[in-house]
């Protein structure tokens, strides 16, 4: 069994690049730190640090251990914090990152401010959420699910012994960055367009909502992966006319999320097809996503309920199936009271 103190001393030494500095911040002696690290190296049969004249550096094995040890110490700290308060005053949540959820949880917490609720909220991929709820680390997890991949989703629920409870259906949306693709056109007119798209990079039929100048941007047959296939036959003034999509879309997504796993999308009301969207940026930060969409030419596929701060977006249809938003819970167990209260709160919000 690994010693948490050894891991703590190892992490501090790596952060400070020095055993003596690690001893200083840990309020112990350099000898104690050196012995702890040496004991850890002996137990794992690896060399964790390269010693040099003015400090220490992690080896490749040390770098691998650092990531895992940091995560383990974080979880240990969370356990200690949660056990220092009565269980009924703690709520552990994991969720696919989105600003809508953040706003709703803040509003919920404010309504129950006097209850002194303690909460741990973690941004996570869908797979990590299923693992965390299934293992009991979190009380409830909030995810988007695609019923077009129903069999795979059901298998994952069975694997972790979970139930999924639908809260609402969700529509897909394509969000385009406000900046023009470098070297192709200026960004003028991008911000504030009715569809949230780059007006200068696309053409709209005469009389369409965007009013963008007409241009021939249809992609040839057999165009490269990730390039939208455009149908330019929409009649002038059609109520469903949508702007043609820019060529060579590059995507920024929150994790390798469920939306980007869908390999085929249709622009709602048109014949335009988006095939095999290619992800260039993967992040767990909604702030990073926001910055890319407001200051670059990157695009994003997300849900219409969760992305109001990104603009109106372009409605998308999946090739098949329904997109749903809901929560997962452990099979055969009731939600703890605070989780039950919060899921009911979200349900009422959707109904309104």
Q: Could you list the pLDDT tens digit for every one of the 352 residues in the chain?
A: 788 899 999 999 999 999 999 999 999 999 999 999 999 999 999 999 998 888 899 999 999 999 889 888 888 876 776 666 555 568 999 998 887 888 899 999 999 999 888 898 998 888 899 999 999 889 999 998 887 655 688 888 999 999 999 998 888 889 888 876 666 554 433 433 333 344 333 333 333 333 333 334 444 444 444 444 444 444 444 444 445 676 778 999 887 667 877 778 888 877 788 888 889 999 888 888 889 988 999 999 888 876 656 667 888 887 656 788 999 999 999 999 999 999 999 988 877 7
74 and 95 co-located in one domain = no
pLDDT of residue 321: 67
106 and 158 co-located in one domain = yes
Q: What's the CATH code of the domain at 127?
A: 3.40.190.10
Residue 159 and residue 338 in contact, taking contact as beta carbons nearer than 8 Å: no
33 and 19 co-located in one domain = yes
Which tokens belong to 295? 């200051």
Q: Give residue 63's domain range.
A: 4-83
pLDDT of residue 251: 92
Question: Which residue, chain included where needed, has tokens 């909604």?
Answer: 286
69 and 121 co-located in one domain = no
The domain total for the chain is 2
| C-alpha to C-alpha distance for 169 and 147, rounded to whole angstroms | 11
pLDDT of residue 35: 94
Judge whether 341 lies within some domain.
yes
78 and 135 co-located in one domain = no
pLDDT of residue 305: 72
Judge whether 280 lies within some domain.
no
67 and 97 co-located in one domain = no
From edge to edge, which strands make up the β-sheet containing 273-275?
Answer: 273-275, 264-267, 314-318, 172-176, 299-303, 251-254, 279-283
Domain final residue, candidates 48, 64, 83 = 83
Judge whether 218 lies within some domain.
no
**Which helix (H) or strand (E) element contains residue 100?**
helix 99-111
| C-alpha to C-alpha distance for 17 and 108, rounded to whole angstroms | 44
74 and 122 co-located in one domain = no
pLDDT of residue 267: 86
Domain final residue, candidates 48, 83, 118 = 83
pLDDT of residue 273: 84
37 and 96 co-located in one domain = no
pLDDT of residue 22: 92
Q: What's the CATH code of the domain at 49?
A: 1.10.10.10
95 and 72 co-located in one domain = no
Record the pTM: 0.62
116 and 149 co-located in one domain = yes
18 and 79 co-located in one domain = yes
Domain final residue, candidates 83, 107, 138 = 83
Judge whether 156 lies within some domain.
yes
Judge whether 307 lies within some domain.
no
| C-alpha to C-alpha distance for 143 and 94, rounded to whole angstroms | 9
Judge whether 283 lies within some domain.
no
| C-alpha to C-alpha distance for 170 and 147, rounded to whole angstroms | 11
Judge whether 240 lies within some domain.
no
| C-alpha to C-alpha distance for 85 and 4, rounded to whole angstroms | 22
77 and 34 co-located in one domain = yes
Question: Which residue, chain included where needed, has tokens 């809508």?
Answer: 100
Residue 167 and residue 140 in contact, taking contact as beta carbons nearer than 8 Å: no
Judge whether 311 lies within some domain.
no
């Amino acid at each position: 069994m690994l010693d948490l103190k050894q891991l703590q001393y190892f992490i501090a030494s790596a952060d400070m690049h020095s055993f003596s500095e690690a001893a200083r911040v840990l309020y112990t002696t350099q000898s104690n730190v050196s012995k702890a690290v040496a004991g850890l190296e002996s137990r794992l049969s690896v060399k964790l640090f390269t010693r040099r004249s003015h400090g220490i550096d992690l080896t490749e094995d040390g770098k691998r251990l650092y990531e895992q040890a940091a995560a383990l110490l974080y979880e240990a700290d969370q356990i200690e914090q949660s056990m220092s308060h009565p269980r009924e005053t703690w709520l552990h949540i994991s969720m696919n990152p989105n600003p809508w959820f953040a706003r709703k949880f803040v509003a919920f917490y404010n309504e129950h401010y006097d209850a002194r609720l303690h909460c741990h909220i973690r941004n996570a991929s869908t797979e990590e959420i299923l693992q965390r709820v299934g293992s009991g680390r979190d009380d409830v997890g909030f995810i988007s699910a695609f019923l077009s991949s129903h069999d795979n989703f059901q298998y994952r629920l069975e694997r972790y012994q979970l139930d999924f409870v639908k809260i609402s259906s969700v529509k897909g949306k394509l969000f385009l960055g406000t900046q023009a693709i470098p070297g192709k056109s200026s960004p003028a007119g991008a911000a504030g367009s009715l569809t949230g798209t780059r007006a200068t990079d696309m053409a709209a039929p005469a009389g369409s909502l965007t009013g963008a100048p007409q241009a021939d941007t249809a992609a040839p047959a057999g165009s490269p992966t990730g390039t939208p296939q455009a149908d330019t036959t929409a009649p002038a003034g059609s109520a469903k006319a949508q702007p043609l999509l820019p060529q060579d879309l590059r995507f920024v997504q929150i994790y390798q999320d469920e939306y980007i796993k869908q390999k085929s999308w249709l622009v709602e009301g048109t014949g335009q097809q988006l095939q095999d969207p290619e992800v260039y940026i993967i992040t767990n930060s909604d702030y990073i996503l926001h910055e890319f969409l407001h200051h670059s030419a990157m695009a994003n596929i997300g849900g219409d309920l969760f992305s109001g701060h990104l603009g109106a977006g372009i409605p998308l249809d999946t090739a098949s199936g329904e997109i749903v938003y809901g929560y997962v819970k452990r099979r055969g167990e009731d939600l703890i009271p605070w989780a039950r209260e919060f899921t009911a709160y979200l349900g009422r919000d959707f109904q309104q």
